[in-house]
Amino acid sequence: MRIRKMVLPVAGLGTRVLPATKVIPKEMLPLVDKPTLQYIVEAAIDAGIEEIIFVTSRSKRSIEDHFDAFPEMEQALERKGKLKELEQLRRIHEMATYVTVRQVEPRGLGHAILCAKEAVGNEPFAVNLGDNLVDASTPIWPRMMELHEQYGSSVLALFACEPEQISAYGIVDAEAVGGDTVKVKGLVEKPSPQAAPSNLAVDGFYIMTPDIFEILEKTPPSRRGEIEITDALATQARAGRCYGLRFAGIRYDTGTPLGLLTSSIALALQREEIAPDLYAYMRQVLGK
């Protein structure tokens, strides 16, 4: 079944990027001149996604506003003859259907996804964490959708991480299937390097089958008091219904100050109108 919907869990507080996120959602922090979340939505639309489901909290109203129409601004741009800017502004709210649901209390990623149950319905769907994106030159969704079509199962994006990074991620126990694909046999949330079943970490991109909701409803809270999506996916994996894509493309993690800065620089260097001056500035700063 074709993937038509994407769930974006954007209710988190973004504490790793404080104080910038005191009043601005981390997903709305800019990369060059666009919010991080807009890049994510545009990549989803390019892959054929038609409906975006935001799982928000009371402090995230600006996300809804950004993807809504802004008639006053559109009229002002039209009067001034700024047709390029007008087209860019209109495209934001016209490129997809948007649905918003609330996560009333922070009970983990699994709970956030469960909040979207009614909006998703009985069909497979994509999930993209709000601080993870990939470069447009190496899109991730087309291949993940191919694997879902092939196996009819949930699909996780995976990357090989360094030993010192293992304890920060969910790590999979995986069996090679061929090429860039593995069959996921189990998942462990943030293990020590010594206890990890592999060095393959779960990235912020998922395709999930709708039975994940029933599993999440039966998943007890972890020792952190949260409903862990890792636990629910591990249940699917034990049943043979979970595969992984070893993604080797260009990833951007904007969830830290350094990641936000380096991602913005990387994307700015792809812009013809910005790159020459940015290169000149970098050479000046580096004294070269």
Residue 17: per-residue pLDDT: 86
Q: How far is 17 from 84, CA to CA, in rounded Å?
A: 32
Domains in the chain, number: 1
pLDDT given at position 32:
95
In which band, very low, low, confident or very high, does the pLDDT at 191 lie, cut at 50, 70 and 90? Answer: confident
* pLDDT at site 59: 83
What is the residue range of 50's domain? 5-286
Higher pLDDT, 15 or 271: 271
CA distance 270 to 276: 10
Mean pLDDT over residues 274-282, rounded?
A: 94
DSSP lists the bridge partners of residue 245 as: 157, 181
Contact of 127 with 206, CB cutoff 8 Å:
yes
Beta bridge partners, 31, equal: 34
Closest CA to 224 of 137, 107, 92, 125: 107
What amino acid is encoded at 4 in this protein? Answer: R
- The pLDDT, as a whole number, for residue 288 is 66
Q: What is the pLDDT of residue 286?
A: 87
**Predicted pLDDT at 212:** 97
pLDDT tens figures, 125-168: 999 998 899 999 999 999 999 999 999 999 999 999 888 888 88
pLDDT in tens, 79-129: 999 999 999 999 999 999 999 999 988 889 999 999 999 999 999 999 999
**By mean pLDDT, which of 48-62, 65-79, 127-141, 182-196 is the weakest?**
182-196
With b meaning 16 or more CB within 10 Å and e meaning fewer, what string describes 62-100?
A: ebeebbeeeeeeeeebeeeeeeeebeebeebeebbebbb
Confidence (pLDDT) at 9? 95
For residue 32, the domain's CATH number is: 3.90.550.10
